Structure 1
Amino acid sequence: MLPPDRAMPVETTSLAELIGAAAPSATALDDGQKVLRYADLRLRMRHLTSRLAALPGLEHGPVAIVSRDPLKSALTVWLGAASGRDVAILDSTRGDLETVLQTIAPALVIGDRVEGHEPWATVPSAWLDDAGAEVGQRRLTQGAETGGWLVASSGTEGPARIARLSQAAILAHARASNAATGLGQGDAWLTPVSLQHIGGLAVLSRCALAGACALLHETFNPHRIVEAVMAEEVSHLSLVPAMLDRVLECAGGRAPPSRLRRVLIGGAALHPAIAERARAAGWPLWVAYGMTETGSHVTVEAIEEGWEAGRVGKPLRDIRIAVDSEAGAGIAGTGPIRIEGPVVMDGYLQASGATASIDGVFESGDLGRIDGAGNLHVLGRADDVLISGGVNLHPASIERLLGECPGVTDIAVTAVDDPRWGDLLVAIFCGDIDEPQFEKWCRDHLESRQRPRRFLRVALLPRNAGGKIDREILRRLAANSSN
C-alpha cells in the first residue's frame, strides 16, 4: 500500500491524459542537461502534434526515431501518445535497422542519419527541439487503441521480433508496478537502460502515472549513477546485474541515502554473490522478472537475508502466472512459464503490417516453478536445456552452483558436442581463480552429473545490450577453446 502522500492518481485510459494530470510544476524529464516540467511537456506535445499534422501525406502510421538521445526519444514517445500513433525507438547502430524499419513501415522517421530509407518521410531530430510559440488548439488524442509502443524484443538469439504494446497494456503495467514499488509524486526514477529496451521505456509511463521524474542517462556510467544516488537525486533505480556490479564497485562499500528506496534488478539472472554484496552494503535491492512482451516486469521481490537465487517473487496485481510441470523438459518440478493479464502485448508485428494476436496469454519460453508461498522461481530458457550423459540439465541451475566457488565473479555454462557425453559441459568464467583450481573445487563440491568437464577463464562474459548472456557467442567460445 502507498502512504497517503503518495496516493495513485485517478485512473485513466489514455497515456496522453497523464501529461495533463500531473502537477504542472513537477519535473517530468531530466537528462542531466535539460529539464522539462510537466507543463513544458504538455506545451511541447501540443506544438509537435500540430507540426506533425501539418506534414503532407502523413495522416496515419507509426513514428520511429533513430537516435540514442534519451530526451528526444522520450519526446517521441509522448508525441505518439498525444497524436494517437504507434512509436518505435531504434538505435542507429543496430545491424538489423533496415529490416526492423521495413517491418514497422513508419509514416515518419525522425533522426539525423537515416540515409537509405527513401520509402518513408524523414525529418532531422532537431525537429523535436523547438518548443515553439504557436501552440494551436489541437486536442491530444484520448483513445486507448492507438498510440502504443512497437518494441524490438531483446532475446538472446535470432532476429528481433517487434512486439506491439497497446496503451491499455502500458497503463496496466504502470499501475501494477507503481503499486508494488511505491513510486509516487516527488520521486525520481533513474534508468541508464536505453529507451529502445522495455526496461528503460516503461520508466516513462510509470513516472507519468505517478507524477514523478524520469532521469535519463544516454549511456551507462557507474560513476555518474553513484554521484546522483549519493546526492539524493534518485528514489528508484533500474539496473541489469552487470550494471549493479559496476555501481557497487564505484560506490566502494558506501550505503546509499534513505532517499533511494528501490533498486530494481532485471534483464538477466542475478548472481548471489552480487546480491549479497549489495544487501550487505545497504542497497535496497529488488529482483524482478518480465520481458518486452509483458511491458516489463510482472513479478518483484525484495532481496533480504535468506533470498534464494532464481526466486523473483509473486505476480503483480491483475497478473496470473502458471507453470505446466508436466512439460518441464525432463527437469523435475519445473515447467514452461505462462503469463496472462492486461499487461500482455497485442502480438508481434508482421511484415504485412498486421499484428499476430495472442489473446492476452504469453508463453514466455522460460522454465520455472511456483513454490508453496506463491513465489515464482525462474530456471532459464526452455531451449537452453542440455542433455549430458543422458541427464537433462539447465545451464542456469549449474551456474548457480558454480557461482558459490570463491574467486568466481561471473559464470556461464554451455556445451560442446561430445561422442560420450552428448553435451559436454563447459564453464566459462571470470575471476581470480584459475582453471585447475576451479576444476578441483567442482570435484570436491558437485555431483559428477553437475560438473563441467572443461573450463575457460575470460576477462568478460559475452552479453547483449539488455545484459543477457549471449549464448551463441558463448558456444563459439567453447568450441574454439576445444580446438
Structure 2
Amino acid sequence: MTWTTEGSIAALLRWRLDEKPERGFAYVEDEGPWTYQSIGAEAVRVARGLRAQAVGAGDLVIVRLGNDERFLAAVGGVWMGGAGAIVMHPAAPSRDVTSVATSMGAKAIIADPEDLPARSVGLPCIAIARFPASGAVDAAQLAQTYSVPAVPGSSPALVLLTSGTTGQPKGVVLTHDNAWANLRATVAAFRSDTSPTPISDIARPPNLISNPLSHTAGVVRLLFALYVGRTIALLRKFDATMAKSLIDRHGIDNLTINPAMMRMLLENLPDNADLGKVRYVSSGTAPLPPALREEFEKRFGVPVLQAYGQTEAFGGIAIESVKDVLSGRRKPGSVGRPLPGVELRIVGPDGEEVAGGEVGEIVVRARSATSGYIGGDAVQPVDDEGWLRTGDQGRVDEDGYLFITGRIKNIIICGGFNIVPEEVEAALAEDRSVREVTVVGVPDDRLGEVPVAIAESDCSAADLIEKIGDRLAPYKRPRRVFVVDALPRVANGKVDRPAAAALARELCSSN
C-alpha cells in the first residue's frame, strides 16, 4: 500500500478503507465499534449533500457535532469535496453560530437533525443522524466513491475556534500541510520512524478521547489514531465513572487528559480504584499544579507527563519524554523539550532573544503552525519569518528543557477551555443595568481557575447570572457574580485589573 503524507488528509480514512474496511474503529462510550466502512459510507453521503448545495474546493463548512461517530463522517465528507471544516461545539449559543457563519464566510453547516441554532442562520444545513455501527455496505462501491481530492497542502483543512479580544469568535486556520507536520512530529516524540502505521493483526487497546473533538486536543487525538492505526474510545463528556469503565473494558494503556479531569478521577472514583493497565498519563490544555500531579501519581501509581501546546501550533509544542518519566528521570516543573520540527526561542519585549535561562515570551516556528486567523479581530499571530508569538512566558535551561512561568495573554483557562474575559464582559454589558463590569480568573482546585465577574449594576447578582444564560456557552459563564458600588480604577479612569482580581479572590473567600 502507498502511504502519501501530502495533499488532503482525507487520505487518512481512505488508507483504512483500503486496508481493513470491516475493522472496528470507534467506540462511543458503551456503544460500537463503528467500522471504517460505516463511517466512510456516511462520509460519502455527506459529501453528496454538500455537492448538491454547490459547496466545493476552498469553501468552508461549519461542523457542529459532539463526540460520537458522526464527527469523522462529517469532516471526512467535507474533505472529500476539497472544502475545510470549521469545527464548533454543539452547545455553542446561536449568536456564535451566526457570528462564525457571517465573519468566516461559511457555505453550509452540518449538524444533528434536532439542532435548532444550526438551522437559524440561513445556511444550507446537512442533517446527520446517528447511524449503525456496521451494516450492509458495498465495499467495492465505497472504494470507488470515497475519493481523496487533489488539493494543495496549503488549503485549509480545519478551522478551530477561539475568541478574539472583542469577544467575537475567530478561527485558527490549520492546513493539510499543518496536519501532516503535526502527525509526524507527534509520532517522533514516541519513536524514530515517523511514517504511518499499518493496522496490526494483534489486538491493541484503543486511545481514549476525553476532550471535545471540536477542541484541539480532541481532534488531534482522532487524527493521530487514524495515522498510527489505533482504534478510539470516545467519551461524549468527561465522566470519571465512564472513563474508568472504558479503561477496564478495553485495557486502555495511556490517557491524555487535562488537570480538571485528573481532579475528577481523584474525587469521583472509589478510594480503592486503580487505573488498570494505564502506564502513563499526559496532561495538557491547562497548567498542571504541582500538588495535583503529586497527589495523582501517589494515589494511582501512574506517572504524569506534562505537555505544552497551543491551538495556533496545532497542538503540541513541547512534551516530557515517556522514556524519561517512566525511568524516573524528569526535570521538576518542566514541560519537556520541544517536539521534533519545532524551533523555540525566548524573547524580550523588544523581540530580541534573551540570554539562556532568562524569562521571556515563548515564540515558536513549526510546519504545523497556523497560516493565520479568520473572522473576529483577526490580527495575525505569525510574523513574516514564520515565528508564532504564543503570549506565554517561560525559560529554557541549559539542557533544552522548557519551563512555563506565566501567561502574558489575559485568557482564563478553565478546565482546559480558553475564556476571553472581554467576551464575557460584553455579554454581561448587554444588560442596561450594568454600568461597567470586569471578569477575572480566580484559582479553583478542580478547574485550575474559573471566571468571576464584578459589576457596577442596579441588578442583583442572581438576576445577572440568569440573564447571561443564553448568551454564552456553559463553560464561559461566570461561576460567581458580585455587584459592587464601584470597581477599582487606575488614575486614567480605567478598571485596575490586578486590583479587581484581588477583590474577586477576597469576595470569593468571604462569601
- TM-score relative to the length of structure 2: 0.68
Equivalent residues in 2 for 1:28-177 (5 A)?
Answer: 28-32=25-29, 33-53=31-51, 55-60=52-57, 61-95=59-93, 96-111=96-111, 112-114=115-117, 117-126=120-129, 135=142, 137=145, 139-143=147-151, 144-146=153-155, 148-153=157-162, 158-177=167-186
3-state DSSP of counterpart to 2:169: coil
Corresponding residue of 2:394: 368
Q: Distance in 1 between matches of 2:475 and 2:222?
A: 19
Shift of 1:187: 4.7
Q: Verify: 1:313 aligned to 2:310, yes or no.
A: no
Match of 1:435 in 2: none
Structure 1 245/118 Cα, relative in aligned 2: closer, same or farther at 3 Å?
A: closer
In the other structure, the counterpart of 2:505 is 478
Change (3 A) 1:211 1:366: same
- 1:35 Cα shift? 2.1
Counterpart AA for 2:284: G
List alignment gaps of at least 5 residues for structure 2. 414-439, 447-472, 481-496
Distance in 1, matches of 2:158 and 2:366, equals 18
AA paired with 1:140? Answer: V
RMSD of the alignment, in Å?
A: 4.1
CA offset digits 1:306-353 (Å, max 9, x no partner)? 755541011111111111157699999200000101010110013699
Asked if the contact 1:346–1:358 (Cα under 8 Å) also holds between the matched residues in 2, the reply is no
- How far does residue 138 in structure 1 lie from its aligned partner after superposition? 6.0
Q: Which amino acid aligns with 2:304?
A: L
| Match among 310, 313, 338 for residue 294 of structure 1 | 313
Which residue of the other structure, out of 341, 362, 365, is the alignment partner of 1:340?
365
Paired AA for residue 57 in structure 1: A
Equivalent residue for 1:323, pick from 332, 341, 346: 346
AA aligned to 1:285 is V
Q: Distance in 2 between matches of 1:110 and 1:464?
A: 22
Deviation track 1:69-110 (CA, whole Å, cap 9, x = no partner) reads 432223222222222111022124324332122222221112
**Structure 1: which amino acid aligns with 2:63?**
I
Q: State which drifts further: 289-298 or 19-28.
A: 19-28
Task: Give me the whole-angstrom Cα distance separating, in 1, the residues matched to 2:78 and 2:189.
Answer: 27
For the residue of structure 2 that corresponds to 1:225, the secondary structure is: helix
Mark the CA change 1:65 to 1:323 in structure 2 (over 3 Å): closer, same or farther: same
Given that residues 50 and 126 in structure 2 are in contact (C-alpha distance below 8 angstroms), is that contact kept between their aligned partners in structure 1? no
Please, which moves more after superposition, 20-29 or 328-337? 328-337
Q: Structure 2: how far apart are the matches of 1:426 and 1:251?
A: 31
SS at match of 1:220: coil
Question: 1:357: Cα distance to partner?
Answer: 6.5
Which letter does structure 2 place at the counterpart of 1:125? I
1:474: Cα distance to partner? 5.8
Counterpart of 1:58 in structure 2: which amino acid?
A: V
Q: Which residue of 2 aligns with 1:201?
A: 219
| Matches of 1:141 and 1:221, distance apart in 2 | 38
Query: Which segment drifts farther, 84-93 or 315-324?
Result: 84-93
The change in CA–CA distance for 1:104 and 1:286 in structure 2 (over 3 A counts) is: same
Amino acid at match of 1:314: R
Contact 1:49–1:138 (CA under 8 A) maintained in structure 2: no
The 2-side partners of 1:132 and 1:48 are apart by 16
Q: Which amino acid aligns with 1:78?
A: G
Instruction: Say whether the 8 Å CA contact 2:164–2:376 is kept in structure 1.
Output: no
Matched residue count: 404
Shift in Å at residue 157 of structure 1?
9.3
Checking the alignment, whether the CA contact within 8 Å between 2:159 and 2:173 is kept in structure 1 is yes
Which residue identity is paired with 2:125? T
Aligned to 1:460: none
Q: 2:247 aligns with which of 216, 219, 229?
A: 229
- Cα distance in 1 between the residues matched to 2:270 and 2:162: 32
Match of 1:5 in 2: none
1:382 corresponds to: 408
Quote how far apart the aligned CAs of 1:177 are: 1.1
Distance between the aligned counterparts of 1:324 and 1:265, measured in 2? 26
- Pick which of 361-370 and 114-123 moved more: 114-123
**Is the contact made by 1:226 and 1:251 (CA closer than 8 Å) also made in structure 2?**
no
Residue 245 of structure 1 aligns to which amino acid in structure 2?
A: R
2:374 paired with 1:349: yes
Report the 3-state secondary structure (helix = DSSP H, G, I; strand = E; otherwise coil) of the residue aligned with 1:477. helix
User: Which one-letter code corresponds to 2:307 in the other structure?
Assistant: A
Q: Deviations over 1:236-275 (max 9, x none)?
A: 32211011121134163544344x3442211111111221
Cα shift at 1:175: 1.6
CA contact (8 A) 2:67 2:212 kept: no
Could you tell me how far apart the structure 2 residues matched to 1:286 and 1:357 are?
A: 28
Task: Summarize the Cα distance change of 1:78–1:139 in structure 2 as closer, same or farther, 3 Å threshold.
Answer: closer
Moved more, 115-124 or 339-348: 115-124
Shift of 1:363: 0.3
In structure 2, the CA distance between the partners of 1:202 and 1:85, relative to structure 1 (3 Å rule), is same
Q: From the superposition, tell whether residues 82 and 171 of structure 1 become closer, same or farther in structure 2 (CA, over 3 Å).
A: same
Between the two proteins, what is the percent identity of the paired residues?
A: 19
| Compared CA separation, residues 277 and 9, structure 1 to 2 (3 A) | farther
> 1:215-247 deviations in whole A, cap 9, x for unaligned?
211111111111211234423322110111211
CA contact (8 A) 1:154 1:197 kept: no
2:246 is paired with a residue whose SS is helix
Deviation at 1:294, TM superposition (A): 0.7
| Secondary structure class of the residue paired with 1:161 | strand
Distance 1:117 1:319, change over 3 A: same
Structure 1 alignment gaps of length 5 or more: 1-7, 386-394, 397-424, 432-462
